Amino acid sequence: MSAERATEALPDAERARDAGGRGARILDGRAIAQAVRGEVRELARALVGRGVVPGLAVVLVGDDPASQVYVKNKDRAAHEVGFAVRTLRLGAETTQEELLGTVRELNGDRAVHAILVQLPLPRGLDAAAVLRAIDPAKDVDGLHPENVAELVLGSGRGLVPCTPAGCLELCDRSGIALAGRRVVVLGRSNLVGKPLALLALARDATLTVCHSRTRELADVVREAEVLFAAVGRAALVRGDWVAEGAAVIDVGINRLPDGRLCGDVDFEAARERAGAITPVPGGVGPMTIAMLVRNTLLAAARQSGLEGVIAASTPAGQEPSAPA
Ligand code: NAP
């Protein structure tokens, strides 16, 4: 598809330019995440009123500095919405058996509705085995094979990984439609790319998934009316790869040599062509934490038979797919 045709197909909301006329509408992930968290706080109050305090347990093994920051932010966000949060800090010398024992204990604890094991785990620990050990109903990261299967089936019964769910929520609340449109997902990791692709497909996107072996990547990206970039390569996507008017959702978080954070997209160049674009930081990142608290709320409601109380706030990708 030519860039011109891609532009024609865009809804008004995406063609809208910011007040200064300097290119793309900037999608404010912080503001949208704050709105989601506000809704979760209200619904959590409704659960508390029925005697259920949503409980989140975060397990951090070792002393990876980035993980420490992520866990602190998750802990704070969960406290803010009124959840009972327990952060378990285990030493780097923790064995696989000890970690599995901790997970089993949390599985059996009725006050804990959601379990998150912060990744990556220190060398020598088997993350896949740990994720499999988590009760799928409490698997708030959506990485247990049972939840992955529910996502593939489009059943709406599972828990969906937070970052991909956050990307869709951001699109939904920004008027960016996926149905029938050319959507390109850069990256195919189990954590981001694959679930994002499945969510887009469930929304009737015409989908292309790219990875490190994709040939003529720039040409494929130019076809995108909606682009999700999740590769972990600073500014890999050049401005002239972006179709005029396209929506660009940048998942990447890359640390530059000068200490600044940068996405997978060359933001300044891409914003001149895109219709809408997420900044880094302040785009997808805050949405991930918002989806974590929403997944925790959902897990608590389901485990307590109170799903109806929060029905108005079903996370992206967790509603049953529409009949064909
Ligand atoms: P990952 O596991 O390293 O996967 C990267 C994917 O990108 C792989 O599928 C890889 O292809 C592909 N890729 C790498 N280099 C490429 C290239 N030059 N051209 C095309 N494809 C390429 O990373 P991830 O966990 O998915 O994370 C991706 C990015 O998102 C990272 O920057 C990460 O920090 C960020 N992230 C952000 C959040 C958030 O909350 N905002 C959450 C999670 C992750 P192959 O499969 O062929 O190797």
Ranges of each domain in the chain: 3-27+174-285, 49-142
Q: Residue of the nearest CA to atom 34 in ligand 1?
A: 253
Does residue 318 have an active-site annotation?
Answer: no
Neighbours of 119 (CB within 10 A): 15
Q: Which pLDDT value is given to residue 3?
A: 39
Pocket test for ligand 1, best of 70, 184, 185, 189 (most atoms within 8 A of CB): 189
Question: Which whole-number Å values give the CA distances from 118 to 68, 71, 145, in the listed order?
Answer: 9, 7, 17
Architecture label for domain 49-142? 3-Layer(aba) Sandwich (3.40)
- Rounded distance from Cα 187 to ligand 1 centre (Å): 5
Q: Which pLDDT value is given to residue 311?
A: 87
How far, in Å, CA of 247 to CA of 249, rounded? 7
Using omega within 30 degrees of 0 as the cis cutoff, is the peptide bond preceding 315 cis?
Answer: no
- Bridging pattern class, strands 55-61 and 114-117: parallel
Q: Residue of the nearest CA to atom 41 in ligand 1?
A: 285
What's the CATH class of domain 3-27+174-285? alpha beta
Does residue 219 have an active-site annotation?
Answer: no
CA 263 to chain centre: 15
| 166 Cα nearest atom in ligand 1 | 40
**pTM score, two decimals?**
0.92
What is the C-alpha end-to-end distance of the chain, expressed in Å?
A: 26
- Rounded distance from Cα 223 to ligand 1 centre (Å): 20
Pocket test for ligand 1, best of 32, 253, 289, 291 (most atoms within 8 A of CB): 253
Pocket test for ligand 1, best of 251, 254, 289 (most atoms within 8 A of CB): 251
Residues 63 and 57: beta-carbon distance below 8 Å: no
If the chain, 324 residues long, is cut into consecutive pieces of 10 residues, what is the mean pLDDT of each piece?
Answer: 39 43 88 98 97 98 94 97 98 98 98 97 97 98 98 96 98 98 98 98 98 98 98 98 98 96 97 98 97 98 96 57 34
CA 64 to chain centre: 21
* Residue 317 backbone zone (phi > 0: left; psi -120 to 50: alpha; other: beta): left
Token output for 49: 């009123």
> Mean pLDDT across the chain, nearest whole number?
92
Burial of residue 178, with CB atoms counted within 10 A of its CB: 0-12 exposed, 13-18 middle, 19 or more buried: buried
How far, in Å, CA of 70 to CA of 306, rounded? 29
Of these residues, 118, 139, 264, 303, which one is catalytic?
A: 118
- Rounded distance from Cα 164 to ligand 1 centre (Å): 12
Of these residues, 135, 138, 139, 141, which one is catalytic?
A: 141
- Rounded distance from Cα 126 to ligand 1 centre (Å): 20
HEC letters along the chain: CCHHHHHHCCCHHHHCCCCCCCCCEECCHHHHHHHHHHHHHHHHHHHHHCCCCCEEEEEEECCCHHHHHHHHHHHHHHHHCCCEEEEEEECCCCCHHHHHHHHHHHHHCCCCCEEEECCCCCCCCCHHHHHHHCCHHHECCCCCHHHHHHHHHCCCCCCCCHHHHHHHHHHHHCCCCCCCCEEEEECCCCCCHHHHHHHHHHCCCEEEEECCCCCCHHHHHHCCCEEEECCCCCCCECHHHCCCCCEEEECCCEECCCCCEECCECHHHHCCCCCEECCCCCCHHHHHHHHHHHHHHHHHHHHCCCHHHHHHHCCCCCCCCCCC
| 213 Cα nearest atom in ligand 1 | 47
How far, in Å, CA of 150 to CA of 123, rounded? 30
Q: Residue of the nearest CA to atom 15 in ligand 1?
A: 212
Question: Which residues have C-beta atoms less than 6 Å from ligand 1?
Answer: 163, 186-189, 191-193, 210-214, 217, 230-233, 236, 251-254, 284-285, 288
- Rounded distance from Cα 42 to ligand 1 centre (Å): 34
Q: Residue of the nearest CA to atom 19 in ligand 1?
A: 212
Does residue 141 have an active-site annotation?
Answer: yes
How far, in Å, CA of 225 to CA of 223, rounded? 7
